[in-house]
Amino acid sequence: MGVRGIWKGFGGEHAEPVRVPDAEEAASLVPAVSDAERLDLLGSLESSDLTWFWATDSGGRLTYLSPRARAQFQPDRAIFGKPLADLVQTIQDPDDPGEGKPISFMLSARSSFTEMVVGLKDEGEDAGKRTGANSWWLLTGRPQFDRKREFSGYRGIVQDITATYKEERRKSRLATFDALTGLANRHRMSQRLAAALNASKVEKRSCALLMLDLDRFKQVNDTLGHPAGDELLKQVSQRLQRIAPAGSEIGRIGGDEFQLIVPDMDDRGKLGDCANRMIQMLSQPYSIDGSRAIIGTSVGIAIAPYDGIEPDELVKAADLALYAAKGGGRGQFRFYSNDLKETAEDRREIEEDLRDAIAAGQLEMHYQPQVGARDHVVRGFEALMRWDHPEHGPISPATFIPIAEQSNLIDGLGSWALQQACIDAAHWPGDLPVSVNVSARQFLNEDLPAVVKTALSKSGLPPSRLELEITESVFMGDVGSTQAMFAQLRKLGVKLALDDFGTGYSSLSYLRKAPFDKIKIDQSFVRGCAQDGGTGTAIIQAIASLAGAMNMTTTAEGVEAMDELASVSSLDIDLVQGFIFSRAVSHEEVLEKLCSGELRYEPVGPARHRSGRRTLFRRVGVVHEDHHYVAMLRDLSRTGARIEGLLDVPIGTELVLDLGEGQIVVGRVRRSQDATQGIEFEVPLVSDGAGGLCTRHRVSPYMLAAIGMPLRALGSGHHLAAAAAGSAGSPSGRPRFMQVDVGGGAARAG
């Protein structure tokens, strides 16, 4: 075709006639240019790198391309006669390909287009895939029609924008991606979350947001240096990309904080499993320039539209969940719930009160016996801290110890606990040892040996009667410092126990290096060990054999049922500790027991282990047919619940429990006596990450909006009742059951 044909396409030899100016106008115009001169100008333009020409036939097949443009394809590639859409691909955003209309669509529309960004496709590359080209063009085209007004193809110009496009792409990437890890940065994640939530609102879908914070990352930075910290962050990002759910967006939003956006996901069972995989994967050791680093992570999870429908709402919810996960002991995940706001306020109040608790005499030490696995004779006691708050009553150590660790109060609490335990143990008859827990933060404090020495000297307790229980998390620190601390403590003559073995971060090689006298087997291996097909007992026996080979004694923690005790006692376990023998009791009760001369504890507990059941006292909604009742939830497990408040409900009755916050669970009555029913759930509950339970799915606010309720994050009320109140019509028929006012003892019809 050549330049002459291209020229015709833009109004050359056969262009429509135009008005001829009069003499006065002509005098002010530039002298006319001949056709030959025009062709020469177009040829010069085509041979430069400023503008090239292209043309297609009516079928969209390439019929002409300027030689310099043709040279950007592989020399042996046949391009003429090929559809233009097979040669180039439309790109609007290099990081989100396919957002613009494809070139094939534009050509089929037979309309003009200007400055469309396209990339050259490799030979054989599918149209749906992202282009791997290294050249980018700015394409402009006009449809052509013959004298019969029939479409004859396209004519257009090409500009090579490769250099500027690459630079713009580089700048864009710097603005939206983290330079260190290659993940999306905070700015891009904010944009992506806003887009995902907008799409979710339009299409009535869900979107999960996961916030991750690395535990002990600062310690790696401080001990190994910032270059090592940067390398660690790169490896963390690589692991996250391998295990993140398909279709999710991963970002590093600053420091050691990461974020995941997971569209179309509201199954809290799957999200919990995903969070657990991340925690386990990121907690595995890292190799950095010949050094070994171990960190952990905590995860907070919020889900739209249940926990928020705007980006700032969802981010705040996920942040609160992450804060709760870190406060729960780290290495955990939490789902957002409406009570986390109140919990955050409570934590601040607890922190303030904890500073004065020791001076006010609110703290005391209680002691749980450790008995022989076969003769049940006491061999020692573990010291456990208790706090009886004057206003809030007893506060669990699981609540206030993490707060103490985060607020730099743990060293003071730890020192007091060591001194008090040594003073109490010094009054015990005989030579029974006392075990005291030492947190990882205390262990890393270089003053710990001096604190231990002071506690021993003031109490007069022999060092051999003091046992320090240390968790595996101490191995996450600098190996040299860890070994030096072990050596100093050993020099004092105290004993060392490895607590919660099997749940932390250490490898077996540390057992060979660390001078432990005892291994305490975590209760997660003990619970249900008689009913899990032998898996639990096999693990316990393996740990016991390992400990025996290394001249260490073993303690099985958390034994509560008779079948668990029988299984543990049949193995090579030395000591047993758990509620089946005794809870932690006051120093006065310990003295009374020891002074009586009766050192044997009788096991008392259920015959068989039952899955975790939480005793609760809160009101829940109960729905049967068209009627909504209110009952008291007495206890809850994964597979069922016990409620109180409905009289004489027949066995086999199907009920729907409204647990609040959109949590609806269907169950069937399996036991019924008077106003108490035992209900078996149709679908088991899942872990909420805080030791509690929750439903996999919740009632969507979009569903509530469909019946006239406002679209917003779910509150804590009973939504089936609210839905019934907000829907047209009213319940038909009479209620089947009499509802009992559990608090007042009165009964009324539902």
Please give the pLDDT value at position 14: 46
Both tokens of residue 349? 């109040």
Residue 731 confidence (pLDDT) above 90? no
Q: Name which residue leads in pLDDT, 179 or 10.
A: 179
Residue 460 confidence (pLDDT) above 80? yes
What 3-state class would DSSP assign to 434? strand
Residue 722 confidence (pLDDT) above 90? no
CATH 3.20.190.10, domain 2-168, yes or no: no
Between the alpha carbon of residue 555 and those of residues 316, 373, 500, 521, 692, the distances in Å are 42, 9, 10, 6, 27
Q: Which residues are within 8 A (CB) of 559 and not within 5 positions of it... i.e. 6 or more apart?
A: 523, 526, 565, 568, 576, 577, 578, 579, 580, 581
Q: What is the average pLDDT value for the chain, to the nearest integer?
A: 84
Q: Which of 69-73, 535-539, 641-645 has the lowest mean pLDDT?
A: 535-539
pLDDT digits (tens, 9 = 90+) for 33-79: 677 777 777 777 777 777 889 999 999 999 999 988 888 888 888 89
- Claim: this prediction has a pTM higher than 0.75: no
Burial letters for 40-52: b for 16+ Cβ neighbours within 10 Å, e otherwise? eebeeebeeeebb
Task: Say what the alpha-carbon torsion angle 506, 508, 513, 519 is, to the nearest 10 degrees.
Answer: 80
Q: Name which residue leads in pLDDT, 501 or 459.
A: 459
Indicate the CATH number of 177-338 among 3.30.70.270, 3.40.980.10, 3.20.20.70, 3.40.718.10: 3.30.70.270
Residue 716 confidence (pLDDT) above 80? no
Cα distance between residue 238 and residue 154, in whole Å: 46
168-176 average pLDDT score: 74
568-573 average pLDDT score: 91
Domain ranges within the chain, ordered by starting residue: 2-168, 177-338, 345-595, 614-749
Cα distance between residue 334 and residue 688, in whole Å: 6
Please give the pLDDT value at position 533: 67
HSE-up (13 A, CA, CB side) for residue 158: 28
Q: Name which residue leads in pLDDT, 252 or 533.
A: 252
Please give the pLDDT value at position 303: 95
Say if residue 491 is exposed, middle or buried (CB neighbours under 10 Å; 0-12, 13-18, 19+).
exposed
Q: Name which residue leads in pLDDT, 15 or 315.
A: 315
457-468 average pLDDT score: 96
Q: Which CATH architecture has domain 614-749?
A: Beta Barrel (2.40)
- Residue 136 has phi, psi (to 5 degrees) of -130, 140
For the sheet containing 207-215, what is the strand order? Answer: 249-254, 257-263, 207-215, 296-304, 333-335
Residue 507 confidence (pLDDT) above 80? no
As a three-state string, the secondary structure of 435-489 is EEEECHHHHCCCCHHHHHHHHHHHHCCCHHHEEEEEEHHHHHCCHHHHHHHHHHH
Please give the pLDDT value at position 115: 86
638-649 average pLDDT score: 92
Burial letters for 135-146: b for 16+ Cβ neighbours within 10 Å, e otherwise? bbbbbbbebbee
User: What single string gives the DSSP state of each residue in 669-734?
Assistant: EEEEETTEEEEEESS--EE-SSS-EE-S----HHHHHHTT---S---SS-HHHHHHHHSSS---S-
Q: Are 503 and 474 in contact (CB under 8 A)?
A: no
296-314 average pLDDT score: 93
Indicate the CATH number of 345-595 among 3.30.70.3270, 3.20.20.450, 3.30.470.20, 3.10.129.10: 3.20.20.450
610-628 average pLDDT score: 75
723-737 average pLDDT score: 63
Cα distance between residue 147 and residue 502, in whole Å: 84
Please give the pLDDT value at position 346: 75
| Percentage of the residues of the chain whose pLDDT score is greater than 70 | 84
Q: Are 423 and 459 in contact (CB under 8 A)?
A: yes
Q: Name which residue leads in pLDDT, 130 or 225.
A: 225
Please give the pLDDT value at position 725: 60
H or E segment to which residue 164 belongs = helix 162-176
136-151 average pLDDT score: 91
Both tokens of residue 571? 């193995």
Residue 301 confidence (pLDDT) above 50? yes
Cα distance between residue 321 and residue 301, in whole Å: 6
Both tokens of residue 320? 């609160």
Residue 96 confidence (pLDDT) above 50? no
Residue 452 confidence (pLDDT) above 90? yes
- Residue 11 has phi, psi (to 5 degrees) of 100, 45
